[in-house]
Amino acid sequence: MDKTAKIIIDNKTYEFPIVVGAENEKAIDISKLRDETGHITLDAGLANTGTCTSAITYVDGEKGILRYRGYPVEQIAENTTFVEVAYLLIYGELPTRAQLDKFSNSFTEQAMIHEDMKNFFDGYPSTGHPMGILSAMVCSLSAYYPEMQNPEPSKEEIDKIAVELLSKVRTISAFSYKKSIGQPFVYPRPDLKYVPNFLNMLFSSPAREYKIDEDIVSALRTLLILHADHEQNCSTSTVRLVGSSRANLFASISAGICALWGPLHGGANQAVIEMLKEIQRDGGNVKKYVDMAKDKSNAFRLMGFGHRIYKNFDPRAKIIKKQADKILNKLGIHDPLLDIAVKLEEIALKDSYFIERKLYPNVDFYSGIIYKAIGIPVEMFTVMFAIGRMPGWIAHWKEMIETPSLKIGRPRQVYTGQHQRNFIPIEQRR
């Protein structure tokens, strides 16, 4: 044991090992705390709890650093494709040309979903939120691919299931959008790459062939890459927790999609646009909304602001803001919502409330502006995030189930309810 931490309880000293990560991150290993002391730790929101060690993504929230498998996200966003990033996250290294071609080709082979699954879409109302449909459909894949339900899959099985999911999620998402607007499904095309194929499935119709624009492809690719992983966030931790029971990948990721849906997590991208529209409808008085966000008697928060980890800036938000400017210029769009967003950012960043709490625009603040410019409807924004996060979820699930000493996730609690009391028959209750 190198360094240890000492905990003194009732004058008795207990020692626990200190674990040091690759970037000098330090953790006290308290896995024996309860056995040795009879105590557990209490950490609402798991803000100080490491639930695993992981070699996938490194984040330094103070310095605004994000690295995938050691590579700075800025370099990755500039130089790679989404499929390449998926390979990097899942397998740990950038692929060679041959590896990438093989990986990419298998996406094309696996892009179709079982024809019977198309009927599921008819069961949903056209107003059904695509995140609910996506989660249900991803879980349903396990019914169609039962061979993928092996609780201890082989390496080959993991490779196959990873590609299946990455490829099919795009088809399912596009189909759910088509269902919501009452248009026929557009099937994946073998001649198109990942992002243009998806755009084509979304926007082509029997009446209009979608013209692929390289700048739009590039903007969407960047967004997907920037969302690809973010270590132990709410949805990834959900995937790991569900997967720790050895639930199959489809079931685990379906749960992760639900966790992402919430407005405090991935659902914030939809919530940002709704907030900007509300400010616009209300006459564009940005200061009023900043004041509302500061008012503790009001539950309103500035959507797209703040982050559990980033306390300086979100490196993804910087890249996305640049992309938003570029794509709006290119498309010749003047979006008044962007003007409101810029004003909001300006006012909030000068305000002591936001400065003291280190609240900055996060990845979701500007992503919606780009989705909107591309023509993606607001309800689909969080689905876009889910497609982007898929490689990260898969990489974490894989890393976890390949851990030899995998333990089921099972946190503790401090009980604050009634002591034991005797049952009261209904006639005697008041």
- Please indicate whether residue 364 is annotated as part of the active site: yes
Query: Is residue 359 at the binding interface for ligand ACO, with CB under 6 A as the rule?
Result: yes
Q: How far is CA 184 from CA 175, 177, 292, 378, in A?
A: 8, 10, 44, 20
- The residue from 130, 153, 196, 266 that contacts ligand ACO (CB under 6 A) is 266
- Shortest reach from residue 272's CB to ligand ACO, in Å: 7
The residue (of 153 and 266) whose beta carbon lies closer to ligand ACO is 266
Is residue 27 within 8 A of residue 21, CB to CB? The reply is yes
Query: Is residue 363 at the binding interface for ligand ACO, with CB under 6 A as the rule?
Result: yes
CA dist., res. 41 & res. 34, Å (int):
9
Query: Is residue 265 at the binding interface for ligand ACO, with CB under 6 A as the rule?
Result: yes
The residue (of 18 and 292) whose beta carbon lies closer to ligand ACO is 292
Query: Is residue 129 at the binding interface for ligand ACO, with CB under 6 A as the rule?
Result: no
Query: Is residue 268 at the binding interface for ligand ACO, with CB under 6 A as the rule?
Result: yes
CA dist., res. 154 & res. 161, Å (int):
11
CA dist., res. 249 & res. 397, Å (int):
7
Catalytic residue of the set 307, 314, 325, 396: 307
- Shortest reach from residue 224's CB to ligand ACO, in Å: 14
- Shortest reach from residue 137's CB to ligand ACO, in Å: 22
Burial of 195 (0-12, 13-18, 19+ CB in 10 A): buried
CA dist., res. 348 & res. 346, Å (int):
6
The residue (of 200 and 233) whose beta carbon lies closer to ligand ACO is 233
Closest of 232, 205, 184 to residue 49, by C-alpha: 232
Closest of 31, 34, 35 to residue 50, by C-alpha: 31
Q: How far is CA 267 from CA 129, 220, 354, in A?
A: 12, 18, 21
- The residue from 95, 130, 153, 304 that contacts ligand ACO (CB under 6 A) is 304
What residues have CB less than 8 Å from 9, skipping those under 6 apart?
A: 37, 39
The residue (of 250 and 305) whose beta carbon lies closer to ligand ACO is 305
For ligand ACO (CB under 6 A), the number of binding residues is: 19
The residue (of 179 and 389) whose beta carbon lies closer to ligand ACO is 389
State which H helix or E strand residue 219 sits in: helix 214-226
The residue (of 186 and 293) whose beta carbon lies closer to ligand ACO is 293
Query: Is residue 153 at the binding interface for ligand ACO, with CB under 6 A as the rule?
Result: no
**Residue 367-406 contact track with ligand ACO, rule CB under 6 A, x = bound:** ----------------------------------------
State which H helix or E strand residue 250 sits in: helix 249-261
Is residue 50 within 8 A of residue 26, CB to CB? The reply is no
- Please indicate whether residue 122 is annotated as part of the active site: no
- Shortest reach from residue 406's CB to ligand ACO, in Å: 26
- For residues 4-63, which are near ligand ACO according to CB under 6 A? 45
The residue (of 181 and 264) whose beta carbon lies closer to ligand ACO is 264
Query: Is residue 306 at the binding interface for ligand ACO, with CB under 6 A as the rule?
Result: yes
Q: Which stretch binds ligand ACO (CB under 6 A): 94-102, 215-223, 262-270, 318-326?
A: 262-270
CB atoms within 10 A of CB 53: 12
Write down the residue that tokens 């003007």 correspond to: 339
| Alpha helical stretches, state H, 110-204 | 118-122, 130-144, 155-181, 194-203
Catalytic residue of the set 229, 230, 364, 396: 364
Chain positions contacting ligand ACO, by CB under 6 A:
45, 264-266, 268, 293, 301-308, 357, 359, 362-364
Catalytic positions? 307, 364
